[in-house]
Amino acid sequence: DVKVTQSSRYLVKRTGEKVFLECVQDMDHENMFWYRQDPGLGLRLIYFSYDVKMKEKGDIPEGYSVSREKKERFSLILESASTNQTSMYLCASSFYQPQHFGDGTRLSIL
């Protein structure tokens, strides 16, 4: 079974902090993705990566950056957290399709 592990289930941070969300997959997948999920807005793609050190902007990249130094790890960075970034963040990985998801990090920015 594919396992996608997100480092924290719940996280509380303050406005202006730099926040790191970590994701690790154990299936040697090339592709990794970061989404946020908000009520009424569904899943929206923030960034994705198709190889080590490669990244592509998704639909809502503003205020975020990513890092992929190793194939199995994909990090999402909130450069200066704001309250409108309070959300559920989901990481996914795939070889091609389908994408397999972690259980999410519920992030609250106070």
Partner 1 sequence: EDQVTQSPEALRLQEGESSSLNCSYTVSGLRGLFWYRQDPGKGPEFLFTLYSAGEEKEKERLKATLTKKESFLHITAPKPEDSATYLCAVQYPKAAGNKLTFGGGTRVLVKP
- Distance of alpha carbon 42 from the chain centroid: 15
Q: Which stretch binds partner 1 (CB under 8 A): 34-42, 60-68, 70-78, 79-87?
A: 34-42
What is the smallest separation between the CB atom of 101 and partner 1, expressed in angstroms? 3
**Other Cβ atoms closer than 10 A to 60:** 14
Closest C-alpha to 31, from 94, 77, 106, 98: 94
Can you read off the two tokens belonging to residue 59?
């639909």
Q: Which of 53, 65, 103, 110 binds partner 1 (CB under 8 A)?
A: 103
List residues near partner 1 by CB under 8 A: 4, 31, 40-45, 48, 50, 56, 58, 90, 92, 94, 96-104
